[in-house]
Amino acid sequence: MGRLLGTRSADLVVVLFGVSIITFLMIRLIPGDAVEIMLGANSEVTEEAVAALRHRLGLDQPLISQYLFWLGGVFRGDLGQSVWTGAPVGGEILGRIGVTIELTVLSLGMAIIVGFPAGCMMAYIRGTIGDYVIRLATIIGVTIPSFWLGIVLIFVFFKLAPSFPSIGYVPFREDPLGNLARMILPTVALGLPIVASVSRIVRSTMLDALNQDYIRTARAKGLTEVGVVFGHALRNAAIPAVTNIGIMAGYLFGGAIVVEQVFALPGLGRLILGAIAERNYPLIQAAILVVTGGFVIINFLIDVLYMIIDPRVSQR
Amino acid sequence: MRKPVFLAAAAFAAVPLAVSAQTLELATDQSPAGLDPHVATAFSTKLINDSIYEGLTAIDSGLRVVPGLAESWTVSDDQRTYVFKLRQGVAFHNGEAFDAADVVFSIKRVLDEQTGSPIASRFNLITDVGANDAGDVQITLSDPFAPFLGQLASLHIVPADYVEGGGDLQRTAVGTGPFSFDEWVPDTSILLTANAGYWDDGLPKLDGVKFNIVPEATTRQVGLSTNVYQLLPNIDASIALSVQDQPDVKVLKAMDLSYSLVGMNTTVPPFDDPKVREALNYAIDRNAIAQAAYFGEAVPAGPVSPALVEWAVPTEQFGCYAHDPEKAKALLAEAGHTEPVSFTLKALGSLQLVVDISQVVQAQLNQAGFDVDLDVQELGVFVQDWKASNFQAFASLNGGNVDPDGYFYRTFRTGGSTNVFKYTNAEVDSWLDTARISGDAAERKSLYDNVQNTLACQGPIAHLNYGTLFTATRSDVEGYELVADRSLRYLRQTAVAQ
Amino acid sequence: MTTAATNLQATRSSNWRLLKRHPLLAIGLILVGTQLIFAFFAPLLSPYDPVGQDIVARLQGPSGAHWLGTDKFGRDVFSRIIFGYRSSLIVSGLSVLIALLIGGWLGVIAAYYQGVADRIIMRLMDILFAFPIILLAIGIIAVLGPRQGTTAVAIGIVYMPIFARLLRGPALVIAESEYVRAAKAIGLGDLAIIFRHVIPNLTSVILVQASLSLSTAILVEASLSFLGIGTQPPTPSLGLMLSEGRSFLTLSPWTSIFSGLAILFASLGFNLLGDALRDTLDPRLRGER
């Protein structure tokens, strides 16, 4: 297992390295650079001026030296500076990541709180009309476009409850309740598909578990059906749901980009979209490294966890 | 919060207080492209900088030149020497005193090629700038330049010592204006706070202004309706239409100096042929565009805005402004085209209005002998293609200028700095050169009439429409006035009633 | 003749029983079938030209003339949705095909050859997989320029690791099975073994995943168009319609509501189909995403 852990860690480094190269090349292949956007379409700029500004920003260096320079900075703990604000990008990312993490954690929390009971319920009433209806509802939940849901929620709340604070962002440390109130709609928009998918996973693993021998034993011992479902089956069914959290984290971040855009939340997703539009290379580079790094590390930890829970995995 | 003792005293003295000082929440859709007033000249930057910086002169809501940081000025008889008497006791937000050295530094900074200032060409007739013994600023021009005073309003004065000491204006802003730069959260908000020591007593009335960057139109609308935001500046007609019937919301309008246009590259087919350019003008129905994309809130555009009453030639006088698809087809046939003339129209995708207009234009042209492929581009890509003249035609929105020269010379003069169309016409060149340095208003008028008549139908730009500029505010927002050049300079006298 | 008819009868009734036993499959089939019909026969079925403008009739609600109302240019929303299904299916179908052909193929050869090839391929896939889907797609489209084709390529690249990872597992089992070993022993070439023995055994996994991926690809395409970087106007696209309609929610919510529902139905259909296929073809896979 130790050796496996070693190879996995090495893979992790390789993946992050690959991500940084792809990001670096990709953003520089996008037509237009920060200088052109800074100067705007309505400008009267000479070629010399463009060259001067480009030189000031270090954009006239060969790609490979730009990359090595950046990489060297990363190893020294320096992610570079924002082209636009001049602030260290590390600080800019830290200032924004909280919102995205809050949104992600709230959505995940909602998924677990609502998804588990719903999944158990569906397993319990399997085969009835109610089961089909809830299953259909969860599939609709998975396929509903979150950006559409977000807009519809804003609109509906505006029509029905105009005093409900559906938009605007208040930092948690300034006004915890106001912050949470404004996070409700984004959380619902982002988390609904996850609720649906958690409940589906729980349902099917519960169904498998309910057919296992130990459950039959528990039933034979005279435990109530509810006791069986919640006491025994659920504990075993939880594992696949938890191991899926890694995948969900990836989905949630992708979804957060659009949801933050709709609700005007100052999160990492909007930071990255803005940085791409403004060709703020150091910021894109660092933000994508942070996001993918987080994703890869979460999945790595889950792999490790899984190995500990289920030693058979190590042999795969 | 500032000067609490003084404020408390004032509150007692002036009971009841008519307005409350507070921070105005404003929502706009675009992030500023850097803050350096000499480098970043996009609307999104100007919106913010107009409250932070000031020029020697200023433009008021009637588009007249009024004093700014210069209290008064004199012009020599040969109209080549200007002497500006500066306002006394003015300080920059960082405490540095404002004087002639700052003005000289700012002008030289704009003219310096190293700065790469897009507005440099507006001032390229300046041969000398310096301070005289009385602390006045004297500027000498190589030739008389009628629009000079108006143009100076766009040259913001920055603190010399701060910039020379390594301060980076692209990232922070230090001016003399009514509001000072406080905090910039990228893509989220920019907070300006009131400049307590502003030279114009009693201004600004607000404690501060927060520019919230809200890309989603629905969110902005709902935000205004629920008083999360109190002001939505420079919005499209569609949004104005959606919010105007909301309770406690009022919509202000003014003629916009910005115009929509189709620009054509005169060096590549099909628009290298003036006949094809004329055909395009006949094929376009400007009134229909006004209806479809502006919800009726627009007028057909000639090369000069109808807001500039003394300069504009009425569009009724341009033959090709009569919508006539058959005439367009005939012109195309004359130009030797037997098949529909196909070309790619690149549209500036960051403005919904432009995307809308280009769809209407595409539909109109396709019914009049053209075959248009629409390519909606992201801002960065669009700017790159635009600069490199890498287009057959593009659709965009251009900011207006208060003087014809400010627009014509750089756009239509052979080799002009924004003549990305590579347009060249010896006659137009000579008219522009003469009008630029003529001190005779009547002569300038007749020359610019010639220019307009020549450009309207066969020029490289098909001017489409001047729209109406809308701003929506909460009903209790007082004192805000719309300026046709989209400036937010009236924020300084804006207040929120209690 | 009689036997054929009887057989047909029998198949019909057994199909009918299958559908009755799986009502969700029935719903999925109906939704997918309707979309396919819309997509194939769009020009015949749409009552109006999807890009034809009629300003006088703009922003109307549903009526006899315009079943689902009109958008801001007075274009018929129903006609645009029918054509929207066409572009939506073309983009998502192409993208899944690209992902399956390249990603799936890479997964299969990784499993078949193992060792260094396996490690290199799967690390490459891990690298792609580490990017949030939307973000990588945005980056690729930004590089290639926003066109329908590039959207399909972008989503295809983003989905490659999903197919590679999914097919590698079962392919590994098959590659180590007795009959593949036997095939190698009698000197059959690698390609022949892969095509004759490995891939045919993966059909059900491929079918299920393709259907589920179509469902999400439709959503990704819509999200990209919504952000303004997918399908370009005036081409009718469901995501773009939603994006254009949202400015008018307070004036005329119809365009937004109907185009949103259209996206939902498109995605829902393929998801139900994939789900039901999984249940019927391979009960062991049931419940996994």
Q: Tens place of pLDDT for every residue, chain C, 289 residues?
A: 445 555 555 556 666 676 666 778 888 899 999 999 998 998 888 888 888 888 777 888 888 888 888 888 888 999 999 999 998 999 999 999 999 999 999 999 998 888 899 989 999 998 998 888 888 888 888 888 777 788 999 999 999 998 998 888 888 888 888 888 888 888 888 888 888 888 888 888 888 889 889 998 998 988 888 877 777 778 888 888 888 888 787 778 888 889 889 999 999 999 888 888 877 775 544 444 3
- In chain B, positions 209-248, which contact chain A (CB-CB < 8 Å)? 212-216, 218-219, 222-223, 225-226, 228-229
Q: Chain B: nearest CA to A122, how far in angstroms?
A: 37
Q: What is the CB-side half-sphere exposure of residue B459 using CA atoms within 13 A?
A: 27
Q: With beta carbons under 8 A apart, name residues in chain A contacting B189.
A: 266
- Reading the block at residue B15, the tokens are 């009971």
In a domain, C288, yes or no: no
Chains meeting B at 3+ CB pairs closer than 8 A? A, C
- In this predicted structure, the answer to whether residue B158 has a pLDDT above a threshold of 90 is yes
Query: pLDDT band at B282, cuts 50/70/90?
Result: very high
Lowest mean pLDDT among A33-37, A129-133, C38-42, C43-47: A33-37
Q: Is residue C153 part of a domain?
A: yes
- pLDDT for C285 equals 45
The reported pLDDT for the residue numbered C115 is 86
The tens digit of pLDDT for each residue in C204-242 reads 888 888 988 999 899 898 888 887 777 777 888 888 888
- Please say whether the beta carbons of B35 and B44 come within 8 A: no
- From C132's Cα to the closest Cα of chain B, the distance in A is 20
Q: For testing the chain A interface, which of C116, C121, C126 should be mutated: the one with the most A CBs within 10 Å?
A: C126
Say which amino acid occupies B11.
A
- Say what the pLDDT of residue B309 is: 77
Inter-helix orientation angle A129-143/C254-281, to 10°: 120
Report chain C residues whose CB lies below 8 A from the CB of A255.
134
Considering the domain boundaries, does residue C60 fall inside one?
Answer: no
CA distance B46 to chain C (A): 25
Exposure pattern of B19-33 as b/e (b: 16+ CB <10 Å)? eebebbbbbbbbbbb
pTM: 0.82
Asked whether the beta carbons of C135 and C227 are under 8 A apart, the reply is no
Residues 6+ positions from C219 with CB-CB distance below 8 Å = A143, A145, C263, C267
Rounded Cα distance between B496 and B476, Å, is: 6
Domain ranges of chain B: 21-52+169-255+468-496, 57-161, 259-467
| Closest CA of chain C from A175, distance in Å | 30
- Distance separating alpha carbons of residues A165 and A183, to the nearest angstrom: 9
pLDDT value at residue B12 = 36
Contacts of C159 (CB under 8 A, 6+ apart): C95, C96, C98, C99, C103, C213, C217
What digits encode the pLDDT tens for the residues B52-103? 999 999 988 878 899 999 999 999 988 889 999 999 989 999 999 999 999 9
CA pseudo-torsion sign B426, B432, B433, B438: positive
What's the mean pLDDT when you consider all of chain B?
86
Report which DSSP code applies to C74.
-
In this complex, how many residue pairs, one in chain A and one in chain C, have their CB atoms less than 8 Å apart?
Answer: 130
C120: CATH: 1.10.3720.10
Residue A45 pLDDT grade (very low, low, confident, very high; cuts 50, 70, 90):
low
Residue B33 near chain A (CB below 8 Å): yes
How far is C-alpha C19 from the geometric centre of its chain's CA atoms?
Answer: 22
Give the integer Cα–Cα distance in Å for A58 and A66.
8
Label each residue of chain A as H, E or C.
CHHHHHHHHHHHHHHHHHHHHHHHHHHHHCCCCHHHHHHCCCCCCCHHHHHHHHHHCCCCCCHHHHHHHHHHHHHCCCCCECCCCCCEHHHHHHHHHHHHHHHHHHHHHHHHHHHHHHHHHHHHCCCCHHHHHHHHHHHHHHHCCHHHHHHHHHHHHHHHCCCCCCCCCCCCCCCHHHHHHHHHHHHHHHHHHHHHHHHHHHHHHHHHHHCCHHHHHHHHCCCCHHHHHHHHHHHHHHHHHHHCHHHHHHHHHHHHHHHHHHHCCCCHHHHHHHHHHCCCHHHHHHHHHHHHHHHHHHHHHHHHHHHHHCHHHHHC
* A295–C132 C-beta distance less than 8 A: yes
B287-342 tens-digit pLDDT: 999 988 888 889 998 898 877 778 889 988 898 999 999 999 999 999 999 889 99
Average pLDDT for B123-140 = 88
What residues of A are in contact with residue B249 (Cβ under 8 Å)? none
Q: Which tokens is B363 given?
A: 């539909």
Residue C25 lies in a domain: no
Q: Which chains touch A (3 or more CB pairs under 8 A)?
A: B, C
Topology of the domain covering B57-161: Dipeptide-binding Protein; domain 1 (3.90.76)
The three-class DSSP label of residue B411 is helix
In this model, does residue B149 exceed pLDDT 80? yes
Total number of domains constituting chain C:
1
DSSP class of residue C283 equals G
What is the Cα–Cα distance from C165 to C169, expressed in whole angstroms? 7
Instruction: Please tell me the distance in Å from C182's CA to the nearest CA on chain B.
Output: 57
- Ramachandran area for residue A39 (φ above 0: left; ψ -120 to 50: alpha; else beta): alpha
Touching C (3+ Cβ pairs <8 A), the chains are A, B
Query: Which chain A residues are closer than 8 Å to B118 by Cβ?
Result: 39-40, 42-45
Which among B31, B168, B222 is the nearest to A86, CB-wise? B168
- Spatial separation of the C-alpha atoms in residues B293 and B352, rounded to whole Å: 10
Q: Exposure of B243 by Cβ count < 10 A (0-12 exposed, 13-18 middle, 19+ buried)?
A: buried
For C267, the closest chain A residue by CA position comes to A143
Q: Residue B1: its pLDDT value, please? A: 36
- Domain assignment present for C161: yes
**Considering only CB atoms, which chain C residues are within 8 Å of A197?**
289
* Residue to substitute from B119, B222, B377, B394, interface A, most A β-carbons within 10 A: B222
Q: What is the mean pLDDT of residues A266-285?
A: 85
DSSP conformation letters of B349-363: TT-HHHHHHHHHHHH
Average pLDDT over residues A131-149: 84
Arithmetic mean of pLDDT, B474-488:
87
| Test the C interface: residue of A148, A248, A262, A316 with most C CBs within 10 Å | A148
Average predicted confidence (pLDDT) for chain A: 79
Region A45-55: what's the mean pLDDT?
A: 67
Q: Could you say which of A86, A263, A279 has the minimum Cβ distance to residue B219?
A: A263
Q: Which CATH number fits domain B21-52+169-255+468-496: 3.40.50.970, 3.40.50.1000, 3.40.430.10, 3.40.190.10?
A: 3.40.190.10
Q: Which residues 6+ apart lie within 8 Å of B457 measured at CB?
A: B277, B278, B281, B318, B319, B320
CA-closest candidate to residue A146, choices A111, A187, A101:
A187
Contact B213, B28 (CB under 8 A): yes
Instruction: Tell me how close the Cα of C246 comes to any Cα of chain B, in angstroms.
Output: 7
CATH architecture of B259-467: Roll (3.10)
Which residue in the set C53, C246, C248 is minimally distant from B292, CB to CB?
C53
pLDDT at A175 > cutoff 80: yes
pLDDT tens track for B213-249 = 888 788 888 889 888 899 999 888 888 888 888 889 9
Give the model confidence (pLDDT) of A193-232 as tens digits.
888 888 888 887 777 777 776 667 777 777 676 666 666 6
CB-based burial, B138-158: b 16+ in 10 Å, e otherwise? bbebeebbbbbbbbbbbbbbb
Phi, psi of B226 (to 5 degrees): -100, 15
| B212: confidence class by pLDDT, cuts 50, 70, 90 | very high
A292 has a pLDDT exceeding 60: yes
- Calculate what percentage of chain B has a pLDDT beyond 70: 95
SS3 percent helix, strand, coil of chain C, rounded to 5, is: 80, 0, 20
Strand-pair category, B65-67 with B298-300:
unpaired
Once rounded to an integer, what is the mean pLDDT over residues B341-348?
93
- Length, in residues, of chain C: 289
| Omega of the bond leading into A186 within 30 degrees of 0 (cis) | no
**Is C104 domain-assigned?**
yes
State residue A64's pLDDT score.
85
What the block records as the tokens of C236 is 């009718």
How confident is the model at residue B498, as a pLDDT?
61
Report the chain A residue with the minimal C-alpha distance to residue B398: A42
Considering the domain boundaries, does residue C53 fall inside one? no
- Rounded Cα distance between B174 and B187, Å, is 21
Say what the pLDDT of residue B16 is: 37
B359 and C234 within 8 Å at the Cβ level: the answer is yes
B386 CB near a chain A CB, below 8 Å?
yes
* DSSP codes of every residue in B230-283: SEEEEE-HHHHHHHTTSTTEEEEEEEEEEEEEEEE-TTSTTTTSHHHHHHHHHH
